[in-house]
Amino acid sequence: MRKQGSPSLQGEPPGDALSRKPITARELARMLGVSQSAVSRAFTPGASIAADLRERILKYAAEVDYQPNAIASMLSKSRTNIIGIVVSDMQNPFYPGLIEKLSRSLQRIGLQSLLFNITKGSNLEEQLSALRRYNVDAVIVISATILSGSTLSWATEGRPAILINRVIEDTNLSCVACNNVEGARAIADHFHRQGARRVAYVAGLSHTTTNRERQNGFVTRIAELGMTLSAQIEGREYSYNAGRRAALEIAARKSTDAIFFANDILAIGGIDALREEAGCRVPDDILVAGFDDIPMAGWPHYNLTTFRQPVDEIVRVVVEMIEGDTSALLRAATTIRLSGELIERRSTGAQPDAP
Amino acid sequence: MRKQGSPSLQGEPPGDALSRKPITARELARMLGVSQSAVSRAFTPGASIAADLRERILKYAAEVDYQPNAIASMLSKSRTNIIGIVVSDMQNPFYPGLIEKLSRSLQRIGLQSLLFNITKGSNLEEQLSALRRYNVDAVIVISATILSGSTLSWATEGRPAILINRVIEDTNLSCVACNNVEGARAIADHFHRQGARRVAYVAGLSHTTTNRERQNGFVTRIAELGMTLSAQIEGREYSYNAGRRAALEIAARKSTDAIFFANDILAIGGIDALREEAGCRVPDDILVAGFDDIPMAGWPHYNLTTFRQPVDEIVRVVVEMIEGDTSALLRAATTIRLSGELIERRSTGAQPDAP
DNA sequence: TTCCAATTTGCATCCGTATGCAACACGGTG
DNA sequence: CACCGTGTTGCATACGGATGCAAATTGGAA
């Protein structure tokens, strides 16, 4: 149907190499006097083909610059070698780093990353419908945004899905998350060691599991240690400005020794507000800690004490889950908790190690 | 070949809804007593089909949750509706913002983004070979990393390619870039107005066109204004630490009134180094300006004067190029320069507008 | 030398959708 | 009533590669 007619009648199309269509396995096979199956097998590791034939085909393929068409391959095999990555907030510097490492690791084992940037508010199903149509092999969700388990199940439609830093129980979704409770308790312990007694918590997105775990872990440990929770600010976003506003609110009451922000971006906004707007000194007047350990937390001006997420390990585990038997992921959704590390810096009066 | 045999003999497979394969157009057609073509046409805008038939098919399709398989569609049409995005540095906060806006705009017109995260140093052709095999409709390159025009031409293989913030002349690649010369001159003018006379330039990646343009524009304008170029630091990366080191080097010579860093991340590292390590006051002792206007530049501690890149406009232009006749892009590669905006803040002693 | 097993190769068909072309339906005109 | 044009519909095949099965080849054992 397409482009029948004699191949080179209308003269060389303008634009030179531009409209030249890539060579196909059949053409390559005909040139070599072998069958198309042979070409396909030459490119399939472990296929039943003689070593010398394979070599001859691959050599010639390299010469004429043949590469198997991935689309056709996807159609006949069940695999697409594409992983869908669902993201909603690339502004928080924690995520770009994670996405970068993740996509690099996937590339290393021959998987590509198809990015789905969902916008909260508008029609989620519509945004995710492409996720179904593209037949991705698996889905990785790196999104703090509201995304119900049922919507997600619909979108992934029987494909393995792995949530990073979000935990949903009721569905067949796997989760890989940092041990938020452990981290929050470590911050509480650290505050206590540094002498704080009246402490505050600043939430990110209140309803997210991540926030709830950090909040509960912190508040519980605070109580165990006999400290006072002097303030607790609800939040609607993980952002610099939200941190600023929360810090000002807490500073106005003048009854807090230390603030634990649900993540680093909040904490950094908080530090700036405390110093520039509230006239407080950090850590002299008030201690501040965050969560994640984004690059800015290490900048000298902030020097933010934080709980470092094990990004490399998270990536490793996720990639292993995908690399392994993905159908196993479907049968038994697993939740994996990874340990992080308390990074003590000057924002809580600690003396950090030399860089 | 696959899954022949009677459909429901071996009982419901374990895992419930998990392994159920999605319905196909043919099955849907048979259920409705129409031809598969009809189903295809019902989902093709502008196809030759009666309105009531289309409605009936779409309604039933919605009921049984049928959606056309994108892979099969890609194979028969020439379009994949996938845009390859080549990235190399997600750490610089300017890029995540750009990528996010870009992928959202593309999604809005039904295009998905396939992410290619290239690592400098290792084999580029190998990394980009997937770009060819996946038949992407177009390629957008957002990468400061070394990537020769010829490598890129090979990788895109007759597909339209658009470079953002990089200009390559010799090939048939389109470019959309900020007017770096204009921006650099604006910074120079601003320095002059603020009373600086001995100024320094800190390069990012020296050989990139972006850096060269900013450098030349700045140095040229400096000379025109009769100012002295007191230092010029070569660079191997656009990073916080590179900015730190450069700033310390310049501060040690004590002969500079103002520093123009090739981008904001460098400038921010520079400010921190000047204040925390060199004991200088910014802007009292030395003025600092950057380029890009990343979020951190607006944070009160930095309050960085910078030249804002017209991100929204860049995205708009790129998407328009892709949305329009892409083959036109191939025939006539165009380079588009967009104007940015000088943002005067306190790092150069300016009084910023109230937030 | 004969026969069988193991390995290699090719043939035919499938994956699921798009589309050129022919067939068909319907309404109006001469 | 024959004829034609417009608008719909279905048939058949193409897209490019993967793979079950049968055929062909090879080597070695009896």
Burial bucket for residue A99 (CB in 10 Å: 0-12, 13-18, 19+) = buried
Q: Is A247 inside a domain boundary?
A: yes
Residue A270 to residues A166, A280, A291, A299: CA-CA distances in angstroms?
25, 11, 13, 15
What's the pLDDT band for B97 if we cut at 50, 70, 90? Answer: very high
Contact B131, B139 (CB under 8 A): yes
What's the pLDDT band for B8 if we cut at 50, 70, 90? Answer: very low
pLDDT in tens, A153-210: 788 777 889 999 988 876 678 999 999 999 999 999 999 999 999 999 999 989 889 9
pLDDT at A144: 73
Residues A156 and A94 occupy one common structural domain: yes
**Going by DSSP bridges, is the β-strand pair A341-343/A306-308 parallel, antiparallel, or unpaired?**
antiparallel
pLDDT at A314: 97
- The mean predicted confidence, pLDDT, of chain B is 89
- What is the phi/psi pair of residue A148, to 5°? -70, 155
Residues B210 and B287 occupy one common structural domain: yes
CA distance A332 to A72: 31
Residue A355 has pLDDT above 90, yes or no: no
CA distance A340 to A320: 19
Residue B16 has pLDDT above 50, yes or no: no
Contact A140, A85 (CB under 8 A): yes
Residue B355 has pLDDT above 70, yes or no: no
Alpha helices in A68-208 (DSSP H): 70-76, 94-108, 124-133, 149-156, 180-193
Residues B98 and B63 occupy one common structural domain: no
Residue B254 has pLDDT above 50, yes or no: yes
pLDDT at A11: 33
Residue B7 has pLDDT above 70, yes or no: no
Q: B104 — contact with chain A (CB < 8 Å)?
A: yes
Q: Is A49 inside a domain boundary?
A: yes
Contact B163, B194 (CB under 8 A): no
Closest CA-bearing residue to C1' of C15: A76
**CATH no. for residue A54?**
1.10.260.40
User: A189: which 2 tokens?
Assistant: 């312990």
- Beta carbons within 10 angstroms of residue B209's beta carbon: 18
The answer to whether strand D lies under 7 Å from the CB of residue B76 is yes
Q: B64 — contact with chain A (CB < 8 Å)?
A: no
Report the share of chain A in percent with pLDDT over 70: 91
Residue B116 to residues A22, A33, A213, A233, B164: CA-CA distances in angstroms?
21, 36, 34, 40, 15
What single-letter amino acid sits at A164? I
Q: Which residues of B touch A132 (CB under 8 A)?
A: 22, 67
pLDDT at A352: 66
**CATH no. for residue B233?**
3.40.50.2300
Residues paired with A118 in a beta bridge: none
The number of domains in chain A is: 3
pLDDT at A353: 60
Q: How would you label A55-64 residue by residue, b for 16+ Cβ within 10 Å and e otherwise? A: eebeebbeee
- Beta carbons within 10 angstroms of residue B114's beta carbon: 21
Nearest CA in chain B to A128: B107
- CA B50 to C1' D15, whole Å: 27
| Residue, of A9 and A79, whose pLDDT is higher | A79
What's the pLDDT band for B4 if we cut at 50, 70, 90? Answer: very low
Residues A143 and A291 occupy one common structural domain: no
Q: Between chains, do A117 and B100 touch, taking CB under 8 Å as contact?
A: yes
CA distance B289 to B282: 11
| Distance linking the first and last C-alpha atoms of chain B | 66
Among residues B304, B230, B225, the alpha carbon closest in space to that of B266 is found at B304
**Which of helix, strand or coil describes residue A201?**
strand
Interacting residues of A250 by C-beta distance below 8 A, sequence separation 6+: A200, A202, A230, A231, A233, A256, A259
pLDDT at A122: 67
pLDDT in tens, A263-295: 999 999 999 999 999 999 999 999 999 999 999
pLDDT at B10: 33
**Which of helix, strand or coil describes residue A89?**
coil
Report the pLDDT averaged over residues B335-349: 96
Q: A276 — contact with chain B (CB < 8 Å)?
A: yes
pLDDT in tens, A39-65: 999 999 988 999 999 999 999 999 999
**Going by DSSP bridges, is the β-strand pair A258-261/B258-261 parallel, antiparallel, or unpaired?**
unpaired
Alpha helices in A194-238 (DSSP H): 209-224
Report the share of chain B in percent with pLDDT over 70: 91
Residues A223 and A265 occupy one common structural domain: yes
Contact B261, B289 (CB under 8 A): yes
pLDDT at B146: 65
Residue B87 has pLDDT above 50, yes or no: yes
Among residues B71, B135, B113, the alpha carbon closest in space to that of A116 is found at B113
Report the pLDDT averaged over residues B21-45: 95
Residues A316 and A167 occupy one common structural domain: yes
pLDDT in tens, B275-294: 999 999 999 999 999 999 99
pLDDT at B269: 97
Residues A290 and A324 occupy one common structural domain: no
Residues A260 and A145 occupy one common structural domain: no
- The mean predicted confidence, pLDDT, of chain A is 88
Range with the lowest mean pLDDT among A29-33, A98-102, A339-343, B143-147?
A: B143-147
Residues B237 and B289 occupy one common structural domain: yes
pLDDT at A184: 98
Nearest CA in chain B to A129: B67
Burial bucket for residue B316 (CB in 10 Å: 0-12, 13-18, 19+) = middle
The answer to whether strand C lies under 7 Å from the CB of residue A75 is yes
Residues A200 and A276 occupy one common structural domain: yes
Q: Is A104 inside a domain boundary?
A: yes
Phi-psi region of B12 (alpha: psi -120 to 50; beta: other; left: phi over 0): beta
Q: B94 — contact with chain A (CB < 8 Å)?
A: no
What single-letter amino acid sits at B184? A
pLDDT at B123: 75
CA distance A321 to A334: 10
| Residue, of A168 and A81, whose pLDDT is higher | A81
What single-letter amino acid sits at B194? Q
Q: Is A204 inside a domain boundary?
A: yes
Q: Between chains, do B301 and A115 touch, taking CB under 8 Å as contact?
A: no
Residues A235 and A116 occupy one common structural domain: no
**Which of helix, strand or coil describes residue A231?**
strand
Q: A328 — contact with chain B (CB < 8 Å)?
A: no
Q: Is A13 inside a domain boundary?
A: no
Pairs from B58-62 (Cβ < 8 Å, separation ≥ 24): B60/B28, B60/B31, B60/B32, B61/B28
**Which of helix, strand or coil describes residue B17?**
helix
Locus of tokens 């470019």: B175
Q: Which residues of A touch B300 (CB under 8 A)?
A: 272, 276-277
**Does the CA dihedral B153-B159-B160-B161 come out positive or negative?**
negative
pLDDT at B13: 38
CA distance B238 to B145: 10
Q: Is B77 inside a domain boundary?
A: no
Residues A89 and A210 occupy one common structural domain: no
Q: B95 — contact with chain A (CB < 8 Å)?
A: yes
What's the pLDDT band for A6 if we cut at 50, 70, 90? Answer: very low
Q: Is A38 inside a domain boundary?
A: yes
Task: Provide the chain B residues 224-253 that lie in CB contact (below 8 A) with chain A.
Answer: 240
Q: Is B320 inside a domain boundary?
A: yes
pLDDT at A312: 97
- Structural domain harbouring B289: 180-310+342-348
C1'-nearest nucleotide to the CA of B35 = D10
- Say whether the peptide bond before residue A68 is cis (omega within 30 degrees of 0): no
pLDDT at B127: 81
